[in-house]
A = this chain, B = another copy of it.
């Protein structure tokens, strides 16, 4: 882009949001050139931060008029490159659009702007005796707009579902900057196409969110956390399937393999059993009597399936130790090597034992350390490959291992991504899973609402 054009556009952005909210300096641009995925950075031409949704709409319109690629960014915690901008494009920050507009205790919903941080909403509704369940790993920094764009999951997905299950309504700007509304403040709504459903997980490719209506629920009255120790990872993964088969749906049912356990323990001395082949971290919740019953059953199933030890948290301090260990998994693994590729292949939960076996083989075959942990209860494992992206020879093996993980997951009736998104990272695998017809259909939808392809181009479809 010619220097003069660039200056002119910067002035036009500034006319909308004010001089202080348009960044074009090299340092600023570099700060927004990457996200949490292991991918090459792409430097945008502008970073713009609207303070009102009206300004947001005007920015979208200006970008479209000038054919400028636009990538909306919340906290940039994306693990598939969904917030990496397009060369020469605009990064639109939502962190000033961070008002909780309404928490309706009678009708159990909240209305938020897209830049509200997930855990802030969760805390705010908790203080009023309500519950917003989706809890992605990045919840203390991630934004609700980002959660909706990526259909973020989390530890409670098994029982409580994912972000998709909580979006009652949405308002967004189409590419012309016209406001579009879908859904409602009512529990049931079939007025018009299910645009909230379409927007969830659309990775910023179909519109720019300005307002989100989220469902709230009453919180569980009681909860109990447990940690079960297994001598083989097979026994642990079979236990997961056995718990579900017994028609118990824990709030959380997480697995950590030995590699992850040892790494977490050396990261924070929490007293984890470093000799264990695998741990299951389990929380059941609900009515106190139900929690009591289910805890007994879960313990029995664990022991029947070979658990060598089982600890039940007696108080909230002990409970925190269990869940801190789980939350430490990614940061602890990430410290071991310069690059940490967090995979997200997902299978029906009964196929977890087969998937675990496949991961062990893939780790051997490509001679790569793979730490595996994740949401075993919903079949969503996070095999984590530790590597150094600068080592080109090893990186080739990493790419082969990623392909092998994906192929095995699909063979097992699974899917490419459970919760991290397709973004740039996995776009090349899409067709193999969904077929050419599905991609063509999706592209027709995309082109219809974004003919110049300026809304987060290059992502997903």
- Residues of A participating in the B interface, judged by any CB pair closer than 8 Å: 104-109, 129-130, 150-151, 153, 157-158, 162, 164-165, 174, 178-182, 184-198, 200-202, 206-207, 217-218, 241, 244-245, 247-249, 286-290, 293, 346-350, 375, 378-380, 413-422, 426, 430, 433-435, 437-442, 444-449, 460-461
- Give Cα distance in the complex from A421 to B202, angstroms: 25
Q: Would you give the shortest CB distance from A236 to chain B, in whole angstroms?
A: 17
Q: A194-B164, A430-B191 are in contact. Are A414 and B186 (CB under 8 A)?
A: yes
Residues of B within 8 A of A181 (CB): 434-435, 437-438
Of A151, A248, A415, A418, the most chain B CB neighbours within 10 A belong to A415
Q: List 25 A-B contacts (CB under 8 A).
A: A106-B244, A106-B348, A109-B348, A129-B247, A157-B187, A174-B440, A178-B437, A181-B437, A181-B438, A184-B414, A185-B414, A186-B346, A186-B348, A186-B380, A187-B349, A187-B380, A187-B418, A188-B379, A188-B418, A188-B419, A190-B419, A191-B434, A193-B460, A286-B290, A448-B449
Residues of B within 8 A of A207 (CB): 441
Copies in the complex: 2
Partner of A164, one of B197, B244, B290: B197
Whether B186 lies near A193 (C-beta < 8 A) is no
Q: Would you give the shortest CB distance from A252 to chain B, in whole angstroms?
A: 13
Closest to A380 in B: B188
- Give Cα distance in the complex from A305 to B164, angstroms: 36
Residues of B within 8 A of A217 (CB): 249
Whether A157 lies near B244 (C-beta < 8 A) is no
Whether B192 lies near A461 (C-beta < 8 A) is yes
Q: A106-B245, A180-B438, A241-B106 are in contact. Are A191 and B444 (CB under 8 A)?
A: no
Q: Would you give the shortest CB distance from A152 to chain B, in whole angstroms?
A: 9
Partner of A107, one of B178, B197, B349, B422: B349
Whether A378 lies near B193 (C-beta < 8 A) is no
Residues of B within 8 A of A286 (CB): 286-287, 290
Whether B349 lies near A421 (C-beta < 8 A) is no
Of A188, A244, A449, the most chain B CB neighbours within 10 A belong to A188
Q: Would you give the shortest CB distance from A343 to chain B, in whole angstroms?
A: 13
Partner of A178, one of B200, B290, B346, B440: B440
Residues of B within 8 A of A192 (CB): 422, 430, 433-434, 438-439, 442, 460-461
Closest to A206 in B: B193
- Give Cα distance in the complex from A357 to B306, angstroms: 62
Residues of B within 8 A of A174 (CB): 437, 440-441
Whether B348 lies near A107 (C-beta < 8 A) is yes
Whether A193 lies near B347 (C-beta < 8 A) is no
- Give Cα distance in the complex from A70 to B419, angstroms: 36
- Give Cα distance in the complex from A150 to B245, angstroms: 32
- Give Cα distance in the complex from A349 to B184, angstroms: 12
Closest to A443 in B: B448
Q: Would you give the shortest CB distance from A328 to chain B, in whole angstroms?
A: 22
9 closest A-B pairs by beta carbon, nearest first, are: A197-B197, A289-B289, A448-B448, A287-B290, A218-B247, A188-B418, A106-B350, A107-B348, A178-B437
Whether B201 lies near A198 (C-beta < 8 A) is no
Residues of B within 8 A of A153 (CB): 188
Residues of B within 8 A of A289 (CB): 287-290
Whether A417 lies near B346 (C-beta < 8 A) is no
Q: Would you give the shortest CB distance from A66 to chain B, in whole angstroms?
A: 21
